[in-house]
Amino acid sequence: MSTALRTTTQTPSAAAATDAVTTRGLVEITKVRKSFGAAEVLKGITLTVEPGGVAVIVGPSGSGKSTLLRTINHLEKVDAGFIAIDGTLVGYAVRGRRLHELREKEILKQRTEIGMVFQNFNLFPHLTALENVTEAPIVAPRAGKPRLSKAEARDRGLELLDRVGLKDRAGAYPRQLSGGQQQRVAIARALALDPKILLFDEPTSALDPELVNEVLDVIRGLAKSGTTLIIVTHEMGFARDVADTVVFMDQGQIVEQGTPQEIFTNPREVRTRSFFSKVIEPAFNI
């Protein structure tokens, strides 16, 4: 079991930037357990993603991938184990030998360091694309950073929309945008708080095949930027392309993890092999 390696596709400057802030975006998940009622959905997950690393989580439906992502930004509380970002526990404060549950406000601060992109976008339909992007930087309490003024947020928002290729649609409402455009706005929205870590939960599975690539291209760009990415996806070609660690989950456990090379072409576990051979064979022919 190898932990994540820093991606080799990084440009030198990006790599240097990552080195400068060495602890930016280190995710450590340790023995995390989570049950819904009687069903145990996460059965002791341990996973480390290095700063600037790109981890892609794959696995059959119901294996707990979404749940794992949601525990990382504390949308879901864990029953046991812990999750730390750059050495700081998510959702709890350590005092002496006690773990104190953080108050809502503190948790919100932590969440601003972790962006999340949802499968069904969850854009705010009554706000324009630009307003969607600027809302959080104006109101969210951020750790060590001031809130942005409306004008600053606007500039930053336009800059981000430009980055995802949607500057000219800044005034459009989400329902006036195509699915791919909506998801790109959602990515810009997640980026607006300048997060250390970005979580993607099947960002392309609600999209038409033609629209998938425009979103994946944006994510590819992010992968080179030094932000830590954790991506749940069924796009195997994309996973192989962008990941430096591929994690295969099944029934609430990590069955196997390694480089795309190891996992896709040479899986050690029988379960991994049968999953790939059955489900997504054609995707290997990139």
Partner 1 sequence: MSSTATPVAQSAPEPASAGIESAPETPEVRAAGPVPAGETAPAGTVGSGSVGRKAATDYADYRLVPARHPWRWVGTAVVAVGVAGIAWSLATNPRWEWGVVAQWFTAQSIVNGLMETLKLTAISGALGFILGFILALMRLSASPLLVSVSWTFSWIFRSTPLLVQMLLWYNLGYLYEKISLGLPFTDVRFFEAQTTTLIGQFAAAVLGLTLNQAAYSAEIIRGGILSVDQGQLEAATALGIPAWRRSTRIVLPQAMRAILPTAFNEVIGLVKGTSIVYVLAYSELFYTVQVIYNRTQQVLPLLLVATLWYVVITSVLSVFQYYIERHYSKGAVRTLPLTPLQKARKFLAIHTPAARESKQERGTR
Ligand X SMILES: Nc1ncnc2c1ncn2[C@@H]1O[C@H](COP(=O)(O)OP(=O)(O)OP(=O)(O)O)[C@@H](O)[C@H]1O
Site for Mg ion in 20-79 (CB under 5 A): 66
**Could you count the other beta carbons within 10 Å of the beta carbon of residue 252?**
23
Pick the stretch among 55-63, 87-95, 169-177, 269-277 that binds ligand X (CB under 6 A). 55-63
255 binds partner 1 (CB under 8 A): no
Among Mg ion, ligand X, partner 1, none, the one that 169 touches (CB under a kind-dependent 5 to 8 A) is none
What is the rounded distance in angstroms from the CA atom of residue 246 to the CA atom of residue 230?
A: 10
Site for partner 1 in 62-121 (CB under 8 A): 73, 75, 104-105, 108-109, 111-112, 114-116, 118, 120
Shortest Å distance, C-beta 66 to partner 1: 11
The two three-digit tokens of residue 59, written as one number: 């696995």
The two three-digit tokens of residue 158, written as one number: 């336009």
Shortest Å distance, C-beta 63 to ligand X: 4
Shortest Å distance, C-beta 78 to ligand X: 13
**Per-residue binding letters, 11-40, with ligand X (x by CB under 6 A):** -------------------------x----
What is the rounded distance in angstroms from the CA atom of residue 231 to the CA atom of residue 201?
A: 6
Site for ligand X in 57-96 (CB under 6 A): 61-67
The stretches of the chain forming alpha helices (DSSP H) are 12-20, 65-72, 104-111, 129-139, 150-163, 179-191, 209-223, 236-242, 260, 270-279
Nearer to ligand X, 191 or 263 (CB): 263
**Helix or strand or coil: residue 84?**
strand
- Chain center to CA of 171: 27
Among Mg ion, ligand X, partner 1, none, the one that 210 touches (CB under a kind-dependent 5 to 8 A) is none
What is the rounded distance in angstroms from the CA atom of residue 21 to the CA atom of residue 52?
A: 10
Hey, CA dihedral for 175, 113, 75, 260, is it positive or negative? positive
Strands 245-250 and 54-58: parallel
Which residues lie near partner 1 (CB under 8 A)? Answer: 73, 75, 104-105, 108-109, 111-112, 114-116, 118, 120, 122-128, 135-136, 139-142, 173-176, 189-190, 193
